[in-house]
Structure 1
Amino acid sequence: MSGKSEEVLIMFAEFVESTHGRRQSCYLAYRYSLKRKSQNGSEYWVRVKCNATATSYSDASIVVRDHHTHLPDETDMEILQIRKTLKRKVMEESGPIDRIVEEAYHAANRQSQSSDLIFNLPLIHRMKNTSQKQRCKTGSPIPQSIEQLPYPLPDVYCNTTKSELFLLYDGSLGGTRSLVFASYNDIVYLSQQEHWYSDGTFYTCPSIFYQIYSIHAYYDGMSTPCVFALLGGESEET
């Protein structure tokens, strides 16, 4: 037995992008990461999950060296697509990370025809942690003071998920910038109720504001929050 690796010539190999934006090549459910490029235009690839290697050339042909120490993962490309779609949603949408990840996870569970897909997906709490880090890297830095808060606020913070106006007021109250939020339907509902309740809380308030002040409509034994105000102070004028 010579121990020499077997080489297979593959034409028109598929190229994809990893979740980190890196170029990868694919062959028979195996993915390869680009290791280096040579001066003659060829590229040297290494298998993502083992030491198998391949070399691609400018004519789109690839020489694959069969050193695989495991069977091909038929769900690998599907999982890659799920993770890339999830990353795009996390970057483009402003909804809570937990909800976006859970929806993607359950959608994959419903649509998959193989139990191996869910088994091979990263644990859901890891997907949430990764998604949170991705959003933090590409998002705007968190303001450390009211003065650092952008003015005007980006539209994503001014509208509901149905693209209806949510920001009612952005200006000075008691000499400090404050924000008041409520949807049109919430205002209508509040106006129709006889009993209102209001209260301020400090525990869940963003650190750059002094308190969250909310107005609730009370009807049939149920209290419904309708108006939310992020206030910069506690004065009577505010």
Structure 2
Amino acid sequence: MSQIEKLLSVKGKPMIHHEGYIYTVEHTTSTKLIFRCQNRDCKARCHTNLSMDVFLSQPTAHGHAPQPDRVPAIQLKNEIKARAVTTDESTSSIIHSALRTYPLSAAGELPKNEALMLLIRRQRTVETVDADGCLPEKLRKTYRDEDFILHEDKNLIIFTTKTNLSILKQNKHWFADETFKVCPDDYYPLFTLHAMMTNAIIPLVYGLLIGKSAQDYNSLFEKVLVQDNFQPESIMTDFETGTIKSVRGNVAKRFT
């Protein structure tokens, strides 16, 4: 008889695989685990010891065919989750590496790339704030050990370094951009300030805002411009009304 294979669900709950069937925990006692078929239309059950390596009660009959191709997809998600937590690899690198051993026979169960990217993102954003509601210490420094948080409150978080601000000051022409797709739930746009460096435009300041009104952008510009005697001659931006009003107002102040 084939052995019991231990698995984990996306939520980290124990599952087992046996002869093409996947089981999830239904009940736990002081001496055993009671599993039921993952297919909720099936009444099959089995009992194992607490370490999930021996059957105390053999699986009962299933009302459907086995689905062994689902196992590689679960194993893939388990591997990706583990690497997302324990390594600093990029999202694309984790996915590419994990897919190398994925069997072609289970291609029909392969999760979409977007779903795998979201899985990694969720693993890496579990610890977003400390007990005081602030970003944890490990997110407040760069790999070069520079302070990375310029400002933090419930309405605005600004990420930059002294080095970045120095580069920004040397440039008279700035570029502004924003995106909404990568923001955490509590914030709306991710606003960025860019400048030219060695023939390339690079992001130097990142701001997480709770909205996109002129007041929201004003707050960001005021916090940045107060750091030094910044005197940009121009800031190129998109056509967001709030951004344009804020740029005009804050740049004009520097020359009056």
Scaled to the shorter chain, the TM-score interval is 0.5 to 0.7
Report the equivalent of 2:10. Answer: 19
Alignment partners' CA distance in 2, 1:210 and 1:44: 47
User: Conserved in 2, the CA contact under 8 Å of 1:182 and 1:228?
Assistant: no
Report the equivalent of 1:31. Answer: 22
Report the equivalent of 2:113. Answer: 124
Alignment partners' CA distance in 1, 2:191 and 2:121: 26
Give the 3-state SS of the residue equivalent to 2:128 in structure 1: coil
Alignment partners' CA distance in 2, 1:177 and 1:80: 36
Which of the residues 184, 191, 202 maps onto 1:225?
Answer: 202
Alignment partners' CA distance in 1, 2:141 and 2:159: 10
Distance 1:214 1:121, change over 3 A: same
Which of the residues 134, 137, 140 maps onto 1:154?
Answer: 137
Alignment partners' CA distance in 1, 2:161 and 2:61: 61
Q: Higher strand share goes to which structure?
A: 1
The superposition leaves residues 47-76 of structure 1 with CA deviations (integer Å, 9 ceiling, x where unpaired) of: 113615232254932411232512341x43
Q: Would you say 1:55 and 2:46 are equivalent positions? A: yes
Distance 1:164 1:81, change over 3 A: farther
TM-superposed deviation, 1:11: 8.9
What is the correspondence of 1:34-113 to structure 2 with a 5 Å cutoff?
34-37=25-28, 41-49=31-39, 51=42, 53-58=44-49, 60-61=54-55, 62-73=57-68, 75-91=69-85, 100=91, 102-112=92-102
The amino acid across from 2:16 in the alignment is S
The superposition leaves residues 125-166 of structure 1 with CA deviations (integer Å, 9 ceiling, x where unpaired) of: 233345545555x2326xxxxxx9837x6333422xxx3335
Distance 1:171 1:27, change over 3 A: closer
* Unaligned stretches of 5+ residues in structure 2: 208-218, 228-256
Alignment partners' CA distance in 2, 1:105 and 1:82: 9
Distance 1:115 1:52, change over 3 A: farther
Q: How many residues align?
A: 199
Distance 1:45 1:211, change over 3 A: closer
Which of the residues 188, 196, 202 maps onto 1:216?
Answer: 196
Alignment partners' CA distance in 2, 1:208 and 1:149: 18
Report the equivalent of 1:199. Answer: 174
The amino acid across from 1:79 in the alignment is A
The amino acid across from 1:228 in the alignment is V
User: Conserved in 2, the CA contact under 8 Å of 1:30 and 1:72?
Assistant: yes
Report the equivalent of 1:145. Answer: none
Alignment partners' CA distance in 1, 2:127 and 2:27: 31
TM-superposed deviation, 1:32: 0.7
RMSD after superposition: 4.6
